A and B are shown apart, each in its own frame.
Chain A
Amino acid sequence: MSSVTIRHVHKRYEDFHAVKGVSLEIKDKEFVVLVGPSGCGKTTTLRMVAGLETISEGDIMIGNKIVNQLPPMDRDIAMVFQNYALYPHMTVYDNMAFGLKMRKFDKAEIAKRVNNAADILDIKDHLGRKPRMLSGGQRQRVALGRAIVRNPQVFLFDEPLSNLDAKLRVQMRVEIKKLHQRLATTSIYVTHDQVEAMTLGDRVVVMKDGLIQQVGEPLELYNRPANKYVAGFIGSPAMNFADTMIEEAGGAVYATNPTMKIRVPEQIAARMGPHKGKPATLGIRPEDLRMANGTDPEDLSFEAVVEVAEQLGSEIILDLKAGGSAMVASVEPTVRVKPQQKIRLAINPAGLRFFDATTEAAI
């Protein structure tokens, strides 16, 4: 096991700059998730760590060794693919033993390791079968087993759960988490699903357009997004945004637009100096909105029209229109509203975020 260091790495294709200077340090035993929309460079970055893509510029180190020039076979890593990539002509046992055979382990050692991994993953009964006879979840376990028998320095995961149905995905997510707790192998996990990223990662790396947007622990990303993109990407339903102007009135700072006039909390207002008189984007998460009860101050609430109410049992998701912008609020399940009803929503001031209108960086 060892650390992985990615330093100023670029990937250029003939007509496309896929990764534009990514730097990231992954500590030994850490589970790091790369998350972002498709085309953001996360998979390319992972494949460069694996050695499946050449590095156009920069260094990748595994431990204290620069591996840029090493073919995948010499990097001592294991990778789990989205489509499992199980060898269809081999039994489950042979699939798991292949990497060990290639590295010339003796038969007894191979048997010991494969059986051990099969035990951990509960696929002992299927060792003699061919992959096509297995269900999706079982295939995923075999793919995991194939990775763990080798006891590599680093595990790489390339969207391993996206071919599974929703229920299995949750189950396998827990399984991967458990496996990491047990084996503590340094892991890099690529996904486009922010829920997977939040639940699995010790740290999460949000990427977009070949650049890292923010690196941090899951709660850090949720609570202190570095920019509007991260704020919108992390959390479900996504954060609401409204275009506002920052104005000072009577010693307080307000974010205003035709339908709302929201007072900016003190500690943020202190940083608002250079933004006064300029546009800024206000952000508020659906869970930081609730139905106003009459005692809420004017400047921490706003009016909105209900468009759709989705009853989820534990909460109600309201799709709203507030002036020009669409808003989503998550309210208590006891609330009763009708479509087109005009309601007033109160804001939890601790949940207010502001972003520069041009750079989109958090204020």
Chain B
Amino acid sequence: MIEGSAWRRWVFFRLPMGIFLIFLLFPFYWMIITTFRPDGELYIPWYRATYKPFWTWNPTTAHLKYLFGETTFAIWMWNTTFIAVVSTAISLFCGVLAGYALSRLNFKGAALLGTTIFVTYLVPQTLLFIPLSEIIRTYSLGDTPWSLILSYPTFLIPFCTWLMMGYFKSVPKELEECARIDGAARWQAMLYIVIPVAVPGILSAMIFAFTLSWNEFIYALVFLSSPEQKTVPVGVISELVRGDVFFWGPLMAGALFGSIPVAIAYSFFVEHYVSGVTGSVKG
């Protein structure tokens, strides 16, 4: 437990921790409260006496109704889910196999290839979005979910590979050797022994890749154009902002509901996610 007297505990622990929590979580509170606040209460200038920011006694579902009724938000949710699930699946498949090969097999060029994949892991999406948009257009993939499903793995695979390499290295070599002596071919030892043992690592990679592709913005912004193809982040920004007019109620409702799937996925796998964060750092 925390040592020291009560005032020390307050000054050195509770107070800073409280400030951190308010700083980090207040925007979410603001999102929620705005979602359920009627327009009449939202648009009061901050210096008026009637400005009561932290609570509302007249909660409304008008913004939600607008979001789900007047916009194609539900379709964006579906698009985002579909793209995130498929690109995560592709990336996991590639990343697990590549991670296994790079961490467990001796072959010419292993070190070079490992370094190359690490370097691509560091390439930011914003470096390549312009030529990539050209390529997407030449493949006639523009404005389809496949443009994202195929391009998201470019940053997800290096990440999954890197994470899985670290995880596979922690699986004792003897397990695999024993399986091979037991009569398993290399690929069988991988499939029946090493991969099942690495399931926690795969879950970490999965949940991380899912949130990364759910949150991706610039490729979706550049590659998609018609409203019914868009993902949540792009849809919200392009359909709920008209020029300089922001529909704050529905915007916040969209932000809230667009965050909920990742928050739920995350809450189920907090531990895996945290080990993904730390694993991605340690490698």
Residues of A within 8 A of B (CB): 50-52, 71-73, 75, 77-79, 81-83, 85, 87-89, 98-99, 102-103, 146, 150, 156
Contact = CB atoms under 8 A, between A and B. Distances in A.
A85 B182 CA distance: 12
A103 B197 contact: no
Given A83-B172, A87-B197, A150 B178 contact: no
Contact of A98 (B179, B185, B186, B197): B179
Given A81-B174, A102-B188, A87 B179 contact: yes
B178 A81 contact: yes
Contacts of B178: 79, 81, 85, 87, 146
B32 interface: no
27 contacts: A50-B177, A50-B181, A71-B180, A71-B186, A72-B181, A73-B184, A73-B185, A77-B181, A78-B182, A79-B177, A79-B181, A81-B178, A82-B174, A85-B174, A85-B175, A85-B177, A87-B179, A87-B193, A88-B175, A89-B196, A89-B199, A99-B182, A99-B183, A103-B183, A146-B178, A150-B182, A150-B183
Contacts of A75: 181
A257 to B, nearest CB: 49
A47 to B, nearest CB: 8
B173 to A, nearest CB: 9
Contacts of B175: 85, 87-88
Contacts of A51: 180-181
Nearest first, the 6 closest Cβ-Cβ pairs linking A and B are A99-B182, A102-B183, A85-B174, A85-B178, A72-B180, A81-B174
Given A81-B174, A83-B174, A89 B181 contact: no
Contacts of B172: 83, 85
Contacts of A77: 181
A99 B181 CA distance: 8
A51 B186 CA distance: 12
A77 to B, nearest CB: 6
Nearest to A89: B196
Contacts of B199: 89
User: In this complex, which of B177, B185, B192, B193 has the most chain A Cβ atoms within 10 angstroms of its Cβ?
Assistant: B177
A58 B178 CA distance: 24
A102 B182 contact: yes
Contacts of B186: 71
A98 B174 contact: no
Nearest to B175: A85
B197 A72 contact: no
A17 B216 CA distance: 53
A75 B184 CA distance: 11
A72 B174 contact: no
Nearest to B174: A85
Nearest to B198: A89
A275 B193 CA distance: 61
A81 B259 CA distance: 49
A75 B178 CA distance: 13
A211 to B, nearest CB: 25
A78 B181 CA distance: 6
Contacts of A83: 172, 174
B180 A52 contact: yes
